[in-house]
């Protein structure tokens, strides 16, 4: 699986971003894992909603549009739940709940995915 970094205003937000941009990797997502190492997240592309059915840990999710602008931030999605990005959502970044301070992210803010 390819990796990248998620950057905001020149600062690395997620140092190890796993890229799930193929059908099988998106379907598997984070299923079967007991957690994520600190600094690691997953970018699902395309993705306008996520589920945590069968997951063993909670997620914080950043939904992005085609231009990598924040559409919605969902905190603490518990196992066996759903989260929807809403209108314009095209991608989702998942990180383990509570690891990343997402309070500074505002709707419309641009993020950069770098290799």
The residues near 5 (Cβ < 8 Å, ≥ 6 apart) are 12, 13, 14, 15, 16, 17, 113, 114
Q: Provide the greatest CA pair distance for the chain.
A: 35
pLDDT of residue 6: 95
- Write out the chain's pLDDT in tens, 115 residues: 799 999 998 899 999 999 999 999 988 888 888 889 989 999 999 999 999 999 999 999 999 999 999 999 999 999 999 999 999 999 999 999 998 888 878 899 999 999 8
Which DSSP category does 46 fall into?
A: S
Q: Which two tokens stand for residue 5?
A: 């970094």
The order of strands in the sheet holding 59-64 is 70-77, 59-64, 91-96, 40-44, 11-20, 3-8, 112-114
Q: Is 93 exposed, middle or buried (0-12, 13-18, 19+ CB in 10 A)?
A: buried
pLDDT of residue 27: 87
Q: Which two tokens stand for residue 72?
A: 């919605």
Q: Domains (ranges, CATH) in the chain?
A: 3-114 (2.60.120.1140)
Full-model pTM: 0.94
- Among 70, 32, 5, smallest CA distance to 61 is for 70
pLDDT of residue 1: 78
């Amino acid at each position: 699986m390819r990796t990248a970094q998620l950057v905001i205003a020149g600062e690395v937000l997620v140092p190890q971003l796993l890229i799930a941009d193929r059908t099988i990797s998106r379907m598997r997502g984070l299923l079967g894992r007991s957690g994520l190492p600190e600094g690691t997240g997953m970018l699902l592309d395309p993705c306008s909603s996520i589920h945590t059915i069968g997951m063993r840990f909670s997620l914080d999710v950043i939904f992005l549009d085609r231009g990598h602008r924040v559409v919605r931030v969902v905190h603490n999605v518990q196992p066996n739940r759903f989260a929807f990005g809403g209108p314009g959502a095209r991608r989702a970044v998942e990180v383990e709940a509570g690891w990343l301070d997402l309070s500074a992210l505002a709707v419309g803010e641009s993020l950069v995915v770098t290799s």
